Amino acid sequence: MNARLPRLAPAALAGNQAADETADDLAQAFAQLMRDLHKQLGGAIADADTVARAAWHASRAASSGHSCIDVRDIAAAKAAADCADVVVPQLRASLTLDASAAGAWLAALAESPVVALAEDRNAQSTSPEAILKTFRPLVLDHGGLLYLYRYWDYERRLAARLLAFDCAAQVGSDGARAELLRQLFGEAPAALGERNDAPASSAHADQQRSAAATALTRRLCIISGGPGTGKTTTVVKFLAVALSLAPELRIALAAPTGKAAARMQESIRRQLADLRVADDVKCRLPSEAFTVHRLLGYRPGKVQFRHHRERPLNFDVVVVDEASMLDLALAAKLLDALPEHGRLILLGDKDQLASVETGAVFAEICAAREPNGASDTHAPEPLEASSKQTIDSPTRDHGLAGSVIRLTHSYRFSAAGGIGKLARCVNDGDAGAALAYLAASPAGLRWEEAVPKASALARTLIEGYQAYIDAIRDAIRGDAIRGDAAPAAVLAAFERYRVLCAVREGEQGAVELNACIGEHFRAVLAQDRRASEWFPGRPVLVTRNDYVVKVFNGDVGVALPAPGGELLVHFPTSDRDTRTVAPARLPDCETAFAMTIHKAQGSEFDDIDIVLPIRDNRGDNRLLTRELLYTALTRARSQVRLWAPAEVVKAAIERRTRRYSGLALRLGNRANPIRDGRVQ
- How would you write 81-109 as a 3-class SS string? HHHHCCCCHHHHHHHCCCHHHHHHHHHHH
Q: How far apart are CA 257 and CA 280, in angstroms?
A: 30
Q: Which of 322-331, 364-373, 485-494, 537-546 has the lowest mean pLDDT?
A: 364-373
Specify whether the CB–CB gap between 372 and 678 falls below 8 A: yes
Q: How far apart are CA 307 and CA 314, in angstroms?
A: 9
Q: How far apart are CA 464 and CA 601, in angstroms?
A: 20
Helix (H, G, I), strand (E, B) or coil at 22: helix
Instruction: Tell which wins on pLDDT, 301 or 76.
Output: 301
Q: How far apart are CA 667 and CA 646, in angstroms?
A: 40
- pLDDT category, 448, cuts 50, 70, 90? very high
- pLDDT category, 67, cuts 50, 70, 90? very high
Q: Which of 236-240, 272-276, 351-355 has the lowest mean pLDDT?
A: 272-276
Q: How far apart are CA 86 and CA 24, in angstroms?
A: 12
CB burial readout 227-244, b (16+ within 10 A) else e: bbbbbbbbbbbbbbbbbb
Q: Do domains 166-190+201-376+398-412 and 418-654 have the same CATH topology?
A: yes
Specify whether the CB–CB gap between 335 and 363 falls below 8 A: no
Q: Inform me whether the pLDDT recorded for 611 exceeds 70.
A: yes
Most confident of 17-21, 29-33, 198-202: 29-33
What pLDDT was estimated at residue 190?
A: 53
- 393: DSSP letter: P
Q: Which of 79-93, 226-240, 500-514 has the lowest mean pLDDT?
A: 79-93
Q: How far apart are CA 66 and CA 276, in angstroms?
A: 45
What pLDDT was estimated at residue 475?
A: 82
Helix (H, G, I), strand (E, B) or coil at 429: coil
Concatenated DSSP letters for 585-648?
Answer: G--SEEE-SEEEHHHHTT--EEEEEEE--S--TTSS-TT--HHHHHHHHTTEEEEEEEE--HHH
The model's pTM: 0.84
CATH superfamily of 418-654: P-loop containing nucleotide triphosphate hydrolases (3.40.50.300)
CA-based radius of gyration for the chain: 26
What pLDDT was estimated at residue 679?
A: 38
Overall residue count recorded for the chain in this entry:
680
Q: Inform me whether the pLDDT recorded for 498 exceeds 60.
A: yes
Helix (H, G, I), strand (E, B) or coil at 69: strand
Q: How far apart are CA 461 and CA 452, in angstroms?
A: 11
- pLDDT category, 103, cuts 50, 70, 90? confident
AA letter at 58: A
The residues that bridge with 345 in the sheet, in sequence order, are 221, 319
Concatenated DSSP letters for 307-337?
Answer: SSSSS--S-SEEEESSGGG--HHHHHHHHHH
Q: How far apart are CA 630 and CA 457, in angstroms?
A: 23
Question: Using one digit for the tens of pLDDT, what is the confidence trace for 515-543?
Answer: 999 998 888 887 666 667 888 899 999 99
Q: How far apart are CA 576 and CA 439, in angstroms?
A: 40
User: What is the helix, strand, coil percentage profile of the chain, to 5?
Assistant: 45, 15, 40
CATH for 166-190+201-376+398-412, options being 3.20.20.70, 3.40.140.10, 3.40.50.300, 3.30.70.270: 3.40.50.300
Helix (H, G, I), strand (E, B) or coil at 206: helix
Q: How far apart are CA 345 and CA 677, in angstroms?
A: 27
- pLDDT category, 370, cuts 50, 70, 90? low
Spatial neighbors of 627 by CB under 8 A, at least 6 apart, are: 351, 352, 353, 354, 656, 657, 680
Q: How far apart are CA 491 and CA 557, in angstroms?
A: 7
What pLDDT was estimated at residue 225?
A: 92
Question: Using one digit for the tens of pLDDT, what is the confidence trace for 236-260?
Answer: 999 999 999 999 999 999 999 888 9
Q: What's the distance, CA 384 to chain centroid?
A: 26
Question: Using one digit for the tens of pLDDT, what is the confidence trace for 563-578?
Answer: 888 899 999 887 777 8
Q: Which long-range contacts (CB under 8 A, 24 or more apart) does 174-179 make?
A: 176/245, 177/213, 177/216, 177/217, 177/241, 177/245
Apex 21 CA angle, 17 and 26, nearest 5: 145
Specify whether the CB–CB gap between 292 and 255 falls below 8 A: yes
The residue-averaged pLDDT of 341-360 equals 92
Helix (H, G, I), strand (E, B) or coil at 1: coil
Specify whether the CB–CB gap between 141 and 72 falls below 8 A: no
Apex 411 CA angle, 410 and 412, nearest 5: 90
The upper half-sphere exposure of residue 430, i.e. CA atoms within 13 Å in the direction of its Cβ, equals: 11
Q: Which of 52-61, 115-124, 136-145, 358-367 has the lowest mean pLDDT?
A: 115-124
Apex 123 CA angle, 120 and 127, nearest 5: 60
Tell me which residue of 661, 659, 606 sits closest to 353, measured CA to CA.
Answer: 659
Q: Inform me whether the pLDDT recorded for 592 exceeds 90.
A: yes
The residue-averaged pLDDT of 112-126 equals 73
AA letter at 14: A
Specify whether the CB–CB gap between 674 and 76 falls below 8 A: yes
- pLDDT category, 381, cuts 50, 70, 90? very low
What pLDDT was estimated at residue 125?
A: 62
Per DSSP bridges, beta strands 556-561 and 539-542 are antiparallel
Q: Domain segments of the chain: what residues?
A: 17-147, 166-190+201-376+398-412, 418-654
The residue-averaged pLDDT of 503-507 equals 90
- 169: DSSP letter: -
Q: How far apart are CA 558 and CA 591, in angstroms?
A: 10
Tell me which residue of 256, 82, 88 sits closest to 657, measured CA to CA.
Answer: 82
Instruction: Tell which wins on pLDDT, 506 or 132.
Output: 506
- pLDDT category, 86, cuts 50, 70, 90? very low
Instruction: Output the average pLDDT for the chain.
Output: 81
Query: Distance between terminal CA atoms of the chain?
Result: 35
The residue-averaged pLDDT of 211-234 equals 93
Q: How far apart are CA 324 and CA 680, in angstroms?
A: 11
Concatenated DSSP letters for 443-474?
Answer: TTEEEE-S---HHHHHHHHGGGGHHHHHHHHH
Concatenated DSSP letters for 237-267?
Answer: HHHHHHHHH-TT--EEEEESSHHHHHHHHHH
Spatial neighbors of 397 by CB under 8 A, at least 6 apart, are: none
Question: Using one digit for the tens of pLDDT, what is the confidence trace for 668-680?
Answer: 864 444 433 333 3
